[in-house]
């Protein structure tokens, strides 16, 4: 077995055996069960796919295609002369098939910022990247330029450098449907004079042409289906003073916002905020008629108590915007009213204005109450954004996910879903983490530890309603690039429709913060049972080239 050398000081070195991938015990048992005389034929593999992987539509031809796909792995002793796989080849088949896996759109907040909310540059590049990831709602803050004769995009009253609106619009047109055909909503935070509003109307009309959805004179009586609006651009607005009002709300110091705690990452409970809301005001009246006619989704802030804002008008659809802390407070006593509102109307949640480092909040609170637009700082990497990536892997990654039926309609006795009420367990997800590999291919030898191979441990858990939310951890395996944990966890689920499976790997560090080793997140509703190779992603959500876990998913 080859060895790996680490330098301790000028004159001393430590040598470690370099581990190799080896089939876990359970893989060996399955191979014995579905093979004969050490050979797994296409017929055997087909039986394994049907019975263990629950791939009920698989055919013998599919199994043969998997066997044939190993032709390039010449270092394996694939028993082709006998028409099948040996144990090592079967193990490689298991770990080389990356696959674990109406509608609410992915949404970006201040989509044009390259970094923090105060001093970063504004650019169309983050917009392009967001659209390429499948984001379906783009937010633009539009202001007069320095000479008051054109329109810029910037985060107002900050040091952010502006970018021309027309540049952003042209990039949206080019990349809007690069990842999905479903409609893109452009939310405009308007700080313009009537003459510049008219100029924006001309820009929108000339840039998007027939792609631009025009609502007509009447308000929507119900929200249209995204299916009917494929490859269309929809314009929405919100009150220009929204952020200023949010900043007037006295709140706790955000100095702990950047801390990566389990409570913030997993949202174990809805926090009880102590401070009162400031009074809301009506949205600005548009003076330019050619601008107003382009607005498909009108947004305004309500007067008086926020509970009154949740009143449902049977004759028209409207959009309400709440800050993250407003939603958290309102959800404590009026959660079912929020659910009722979102059955017919659109609810948008946005990060509080004091998040200057572009961090994010727990999105599950909005999703479990039916909010259609939960806005994220796409440049703010961390666990909250990983949850968003996981949620919108559903539905083919098209950027829209259908809400569960209990959030769309009331029950037979007009009862409404309440996320705080603990319901009976519907199903239990059993997760087995066998092993991981690939870090030694994607990272330098000393990336995790300068003096020895890494000490990896895995964390796995559920993000969902409070009753289902939990996090568990494997043992730490020392000095091993290919950790074999072979541990099993069970997760009882009361609302599996809203549950996300979270997976993380970290490297234990006794003296400093543990190092990050990868993460993935998937909707429980779209998990495929059986033994699966799960690719891990970096902090930004980009998939590593080689790093993956071998896992098993079972519903019992």
CA–CA distance, 267 with 286 (Å, rounded to integer):
39
pLDDT digits (tens, 9 = 90+) for 277-310: 233 333 444 558 888 888 887 776 656 677 788 8
- Helix H or strand E segment including 245: helix 242-248
pLDDT exceeding 70 applies to what percent of the chain?
A: 78
- The predicted pLDDT at position 359 comes to 65
- The predicted pLDDT at position 382 comes to 82
* Average pLDDT across the chain, whole number: 81
Average pLDDT over residues 334-340: 94
389 assigned to active site: no
- Mapped onto helix, strand or coil, the DSSP state of residue 256 is helix
Of residues 155, 298, 389, 537, which has the active-site annotation? 155
CA–CA distance, 141 with 108 (Å, rounded to integer):
12
- The predicted pLDDT at position 471 comes to 95
Q: Cβ(357)–Cβ(422) under 8 Å?
A: no
User: Biggest alpha carbon distance in the chain?
Assistant: 82
Query: What are the two backbone dihedrals, phi and then psi, of residue 295, each rounded to the nearest 5 degrees?
Result: -80, 115
Average pLDDT over residues 175-204: 92
CA–CA distance, 36 with 98 (Å, rounded to integer):
27
CA–CA distance, 242 with 189 (Å, rounded to integer):
9
Of residues 44, 109, 389, 506, which has the active-site annotation? 109
pLDDT digits (tens, 9 = 90+) for 82-125: 678 999 899 988 887 655 443 444 444 445 444 444 444 577 88
Q: Which of 508, 527, 524, 525 is nearest to 516 (CA)?
A: 508
334 assigned to active site: no
DSSP string, 209-235: GGGB----SSPPSSPPPGGGGTT-EEE
CA–CA distance, 535 with 396 (Å, rounded to integer):
17
pLDDT digits (tens, 9 = 90+) for 347-376: 999 886 555 555 678 899 999 999 998 887
């Amino acid at each position: 077995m080859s060895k790996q050398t680490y330098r301790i000081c000028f004159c001393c070195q430590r040598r470690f055996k370099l581990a190799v991938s080896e089939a876990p015990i359970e893989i060996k048992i399955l191979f014995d069960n579905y093979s004969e005389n050490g050979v797994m034929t296409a017929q055997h593999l087909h039986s394994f796919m049907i019975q263990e992987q629950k791939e009920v539509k698989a055919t013998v031809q599919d199994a043969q295609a998997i066997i044939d796909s190993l032709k390039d792995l010449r270092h394996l002793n694939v028993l082709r002369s006998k028409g099948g796989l040996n144990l090592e080849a079967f193990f490689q088949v298991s770990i080389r098939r990356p696959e674990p896996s109406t509608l609410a759109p992915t949404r970006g907040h201040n989509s044009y910022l390259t970094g923090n909310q105060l001093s970063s540059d504004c650019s169309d590049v983050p917009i392009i990247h967001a659209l390429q990831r499948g984001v379906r709602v783009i937010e633009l803050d539009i202001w007069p330029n320095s000479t008051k004769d054109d329109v810029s995009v910037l985060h107002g009253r900050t040091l952010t450098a502006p970018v021309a609106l027309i540049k952003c619009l042209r990039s949206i047109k080019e990349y809007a449907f690069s990842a999905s055909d479903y409609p893109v909503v452009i939310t405009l935070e308007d700080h313009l004079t009537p003459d510049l509003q008219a100029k924006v109307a001309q820009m929108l009309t000339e840039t998007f042409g027939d792609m631009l959805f025009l609502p007509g004179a009447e308000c929507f009586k119900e929200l249209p289906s995204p299916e009917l609006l494929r490859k269309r651009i929809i314009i929405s607005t919100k009150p220009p003073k929204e952020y200023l009002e949010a900043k007037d709300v006295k709140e706790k110091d955000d100095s702990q916002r950047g801390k990566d705690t389990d409570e913030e990452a997993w949202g174990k409970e809805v926090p009880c905020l102590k401070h009162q809301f400031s009074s809301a005001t009506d949205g600005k009246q548009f003076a330019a008629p050619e601008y107003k006619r382009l607005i498909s989704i009108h947004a305004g802030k309500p007067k008086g108590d926020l509970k009154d804002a949740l009143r449902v008008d049977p004759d028209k659809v409207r959009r309400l915007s709440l800050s993250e802390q407003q939603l958290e407070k309102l959800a404590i006593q009026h959660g079912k009213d929020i659910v009722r509102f979102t059955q017919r109307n659109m609810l948008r949640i946005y990060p509080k204005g004091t998040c200057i480092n572009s961090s994010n909040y727990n999105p599950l609170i909005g999703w479990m109450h039916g909010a259609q637009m939960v806005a994220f700082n796409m440049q703010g990497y961390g666990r909250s954004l990983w949850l968003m990536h996981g949620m919108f892997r559903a539905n083919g990654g098209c950027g829209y996910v259908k809400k569960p039926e209990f959030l769309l309609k009331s029950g037979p006795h007009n009862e409404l879903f309440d996320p705080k009420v603990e319901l009976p367990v519907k199903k239990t997800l059993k997760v087995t983490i066998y092993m991981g590999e690939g870090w030694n291919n994607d990272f330098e030898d000393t990336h995790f530890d300068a003096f020895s191979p890494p000490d990896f441990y895995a964390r796995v858990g559920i993000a969902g309603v409070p009753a289902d939310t939990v996090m568990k951890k494997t043992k730490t395996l020392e000095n091993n690039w290919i950790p074999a944990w072979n541990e099993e966890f069970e997760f009882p689920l009361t609302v599996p429709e809203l549950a996300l499976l979270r997976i993380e790997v970290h490297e234990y560090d006794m003296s400093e913060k543990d190092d990050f080793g990868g993460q993935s997140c998937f909707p429980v509703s779209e998990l495929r049972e059986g033994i699966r190779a799960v690719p891990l992603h970096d902090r930004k959500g980009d998939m590593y080239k080689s790093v993956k876990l071998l896992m098993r998913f079972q519903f019992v």
